[in-house]
């Protein structure tokens, strides 16, 4: 069990172990391990080929946890949700060391991948690049000023396509829904930029407990938006918290399954008990979960 309240989950197409090893070999102070496996029995027909195979693979990036879901080809990550990796002077022992480490990670991530924004100086960062790796996950790498408490990993949500210009609305909704949440900074475009209106967000960040999240409205037309390719898993203390968050966030009834939901903006969430791993060790728990929409702890 992890004490990280919200854990980004990345959908992998039968290759989660490979993806986990790749990330652990790239990022500093990082590890990976198979966390859970599909049971041998009680699977749905389309899950039968996965019997006994890894189900979730944990990756710890310098203490920040990601979960890789080992599944089929139903979904894949896209740039609507990326991981912002911030290389601060304090964390890496100075500007030159931070820059060198950023460049090392950048070179590995772009192997077989696609550069979305080249690594160079921008008005908002002295050194920044955006890359989609060979597995489809996207990463924003940025060199930061000497801030000892800057987060190393921050999920970033880009609102484009069907969700265009809804970043501020989503941010405010999440701050309202989650306990101990607050706005950190907000920067609108100020003028029409592609599909982004003047009031749309060029960048904004907010905090839920001790975790930072960023949102932005796309400044160019996008033909994609949020999917289950990247979801946000919330580790709830009890059934009451599960019930409250489920009722507050779920907006697409047909998307509800096994603790998963989609909110009004299309973002996928998993609302689960913090001790889900322990609960899934109960006899037939996996089979029981497959019949659920919202997780009911007593029925696992």
pLDDT tens by residue, 108-138? 999 999 999 999 999 889 999 999 999 999 9
**1 pLDDT more than 80:** no
172 within domain boundaries: yes
Average pLDDT value for residue range 83-87: 96
pLDDT of residue 195: 98
167 and 198 inside one domain: yes
Are 256 and 189 in a shared domain? no
Domain boundary among 170, 188, 217: 217
3-class DSSP state of 84: strand
How far apart are the C-alpha atoms of 23 and 277, rounded to whole Å? 23
Is 1 part of a structural domain of the chain?
no
| CATH number for position 283 | 3.10.180.10
234 and 162 both lie in a single domain? no
Phi, psi of 215 (to 5 degrees): -135, 150
Of 124 and 187, the structure prediction assigns the larger pLDDT to 187
Look at residue 223 and tell me if it is in a domain. Answer: no
Among candidates 298, 177, 175, which has minimal Cα distance to 239?
Answer: 298
Range of 52's domain? 6-76+229-299
Q: Look-up: residue for tokens 């652990």?
A: 24
Element at 167 (helix H, strand E): helix 167-177
Question: In this structure, is residue 158 part of a structural domain?
Answer: yes
The structural domain count of the chain equals 2
* 17 contacts 8 by C-beta, under 8 angstroms: no
Say if residue 201 is in the same domain as residue 89: yes
For residue 148, pLDDT over 60 is answered with no
Q: Is 224 part of any domain?
A: no
Q: Same domain, yes or no, for 98 and 173?
A: yes
Q: 212 versus 94: which is more confidently predicted? A: 212
How far, in Å, CA of 50 to CA of 146, rounded? 46
**Which CATH number fits the domain that encloses residue 96?**
3.30.720.110
The pTM of the full predicted model, rounded to 2 decimals, is 0.95
| 93 lies in the same domain as 71 | no
In a shared domain, residues 153 and 178:
yes
pLDDT-based confidence at residue 147 (cuts at 50, 70, 90): low
Q: Quick check: 188 pLDDT over 60?
A: yes
């Amino acid at each position: 069990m992890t004490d990280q309240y919200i854990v980004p989950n990345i959908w992998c197409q039968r290759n989660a172990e490979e993806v986990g090893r790749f990330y652990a070999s790239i990022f500093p102070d990082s590890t990976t391990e198979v966390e859970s496996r599909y049971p041998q029995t009680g699977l749905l027909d389309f899950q039968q080929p996965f019997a006994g195979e890894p189900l979730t693979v944990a990756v710890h990036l310098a203490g920040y946890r990601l979960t890789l879901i080992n599944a089929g080809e139903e979904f894949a990550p896209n740039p609507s949700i990326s991981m912002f990796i911030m290389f601060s002077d304090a964390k890496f022992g100075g500007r030159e060391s931070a820059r060198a480490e950023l460049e090392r990670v950048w070179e590995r991530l772009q192997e077989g991948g696609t550069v979305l924004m080249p690594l160079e100086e921008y008005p908002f960062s002295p050194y920044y690049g955006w890359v989609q790796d060979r597995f489809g996950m996207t990463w924003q790498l940025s060199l930061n000023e000497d801030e000892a408490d800057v987060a190393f990993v921050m999920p970033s949500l880009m609102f484009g396509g069907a969700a265009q210009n809804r970043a501020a609305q989503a941010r405010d909704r999440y701050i309202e829904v989650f306990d101990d949440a607050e706005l950190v900074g907000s920067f609108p475009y100020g003028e029409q930029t592609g599909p982004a209106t003047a009031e749309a967000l060029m960048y904004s960040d907010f905090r839920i407990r001790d975790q930072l999240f960023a949102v932005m409205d796309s400044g160019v037309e996008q033909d994609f938006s949020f999917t289950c390719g990247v979801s946000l898993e919330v580790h709830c203390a009890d059934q009451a918290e599960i019930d409250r968050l489920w009722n507050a966030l779920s907006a697409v009834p047909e998307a509800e399954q096994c603790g998963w939901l989609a909110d009004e903006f299309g973002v996928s969430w998993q609302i689960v008990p913090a001790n889900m791993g322990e609960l899934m060790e109960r006899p037939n728990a996996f089979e029981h979960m497959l019949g659920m929409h919202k997780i009911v702890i007593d029925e696992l």
